[in-house]
């Protein structure tokens, strides 16, 4: 349990902070920024639901709320030019909510808009890797294989730690389970797992290994069981098993603003609506 931190004391201190932050959300503040902040609060709630009670249903309900808030907190559609795959897509994908997954797939080309297609160096590296994750979610194996080989054949300076990520994508694109397992094995090592987890989500990275969970989940979505089951990556969190539509809809009621957007609509509709809500909120505060 303490693989991703120095010791038990650090783990307990980080968990206390997670509990505090899970209670910080303020729904009455209606701005794009507050939605993003509250997304992190609900992620913390989900982590606590698993840590304290091993409640997989609550975990997915909270991460569904977190994932939707993360999306709705963006004031532009092409948001994946910054922030790594964990920061941008962890709650959305780990929630198992098919509606969220389909939104990401339908809007992939806007979310990960590349001015220079397949450019994987310098300013383009983050966007390149975020797009690859969504291609993996979509199951676009031809594009994923091509881009994985681009990265592996010419690894950008300072990004060697992401070699295994693209080795996994390559194996996934070829439906090679043994190679998928081989690619992810190094992350199970405490030292390597800690390096990859660092600077993703503060309330997550000390307890669960985010990349191991994400890649295991992506594999499970496409029908592959990589037989991962660790304290830092439990099989229950990895297995793709969506809640019912009703359960996700009930979760949305906990944060009513979520229900004002139909995730099947063009995202520009939400941006316009939330911009007006934010302007009215700020005007009312004066």
Domain assignment present for residue 164? The answer is: yes
Domain assignment present for residue 194? The answer is: yes
Domain assignment present for residue 22? The answer is: yes
Domain assignment present for residue 40? The answer is: yes
pLDDT of res. 118:
94
pLDDT of res. 87:
83
pLDDT of res. 27:
82
pLDDT digits (tens, 9 = 90+) for 78-101: 999 988 888 899 999 999 999 999
3-state secondary structure of 7: coil
pLDDT of res. 164:
94
Domain assignment present for residue 148? The answer is: yes
pLDDT digits (tens, 9 = 90+) for 52-80: 999 999 999 999 999 999 999 999 999 99
Q: Which residues of the chain have pLDDT under 70?
A: 1-6, 198-205, 285-286
Give the number of domains in the chain: 1
Q: How far apart are CA 44 and CA 18, in angstroms?
A: 6
Nearest alpha-carbon partner for 228 in 220, 98, 90, 60: 220
pLDDT of res. 192:
77
Domain assignment present for residue 3? The answer is: no
pLDDT of res. 286:
46
Half-sphere exposure of 115 (CA within 13 A, CB side): 5
Give the DSSP per-residue string, 106-120.
Answer: HTHHHHT--SSTT--
Residue numbers of the domain that contains 170: 8-285
Q: How far apart are CA 68 and CA 74, in angstroms?
A: 10
Domain assignment present for residue 268? The answer is: yes
Domain assignment present for residue 238? The answer is: yes
- Rounded to 10 degrees, the C-alpha dihedral 34/21/68/275 comes to 0
Burial 152-173 (b: 16+ CB within 10 A, else e): eeeeeeebeebebbbbbbbbbb
pLDDT of res. 9:
81
Kindly give the residue spans of alpha helices, DSSP state H, lying in 163-230.
Answer: 163-173, 177-184, 190-197, 210-221
pLDDT of res. 203:
62
């Amino acid at each position: 349990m303490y693989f991703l931190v120095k010791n038990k004391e650090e783990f307990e201190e980080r968990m206390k902070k997670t509990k505090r932050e899970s209670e910080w959300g303020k729904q009455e503040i209606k701005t794009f920024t507050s939605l993003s902040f509250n997304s992190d609060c609900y992620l913390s709630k989900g982590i606590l639901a698993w840590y304290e009670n091993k409640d997989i249903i609550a975990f997915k309900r909270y991460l569904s709320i977190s994932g939707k808030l993360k999306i709705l907190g963006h004031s532009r559609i092409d948001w994946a030019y910054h922030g790594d795959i964990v920061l941008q897509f962890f709650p959305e994908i780990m929630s198992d909510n098919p509606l969220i997954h389909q939104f990401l797939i339908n809007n992939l080309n806007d979310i990960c808009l590349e001015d220079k297609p397949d450019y994987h160096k310098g300013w383009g590296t983050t966007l390149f890797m975020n797009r690859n994750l969504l291609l993996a979610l979509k199951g676009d194996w031809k594009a994923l294989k091509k881009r994985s080989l681009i990265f592996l054949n010419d690894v950008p300076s300072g990004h060697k730690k992401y070699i295994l990520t693209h080795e996994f994508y390559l194996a996934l694109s070829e439906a090679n389970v043994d190679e998928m397992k081989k690619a992810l094995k190094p992350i199970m090592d405490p030292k390597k797992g800690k390096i990859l987890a660092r600077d993703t989500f503060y309330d997550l990275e000390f307890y669960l290994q985010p990349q191991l969970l994400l890649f295991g989940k992506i594999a499970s979505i496409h029908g592959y069981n990589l037989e991962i089951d660790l304290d830092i990556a439990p099989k229950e969190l990895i297995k793709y098993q969506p809640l019912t539509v009703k359960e996700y809809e009930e979760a949305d009621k906990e944060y009513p603003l979520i229900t004002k957007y139909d995730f099947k609509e063009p995202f520009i509709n939400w941006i316009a609506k939330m911009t007006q809500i934010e302007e009215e909120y700020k005007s009312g505060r004066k």
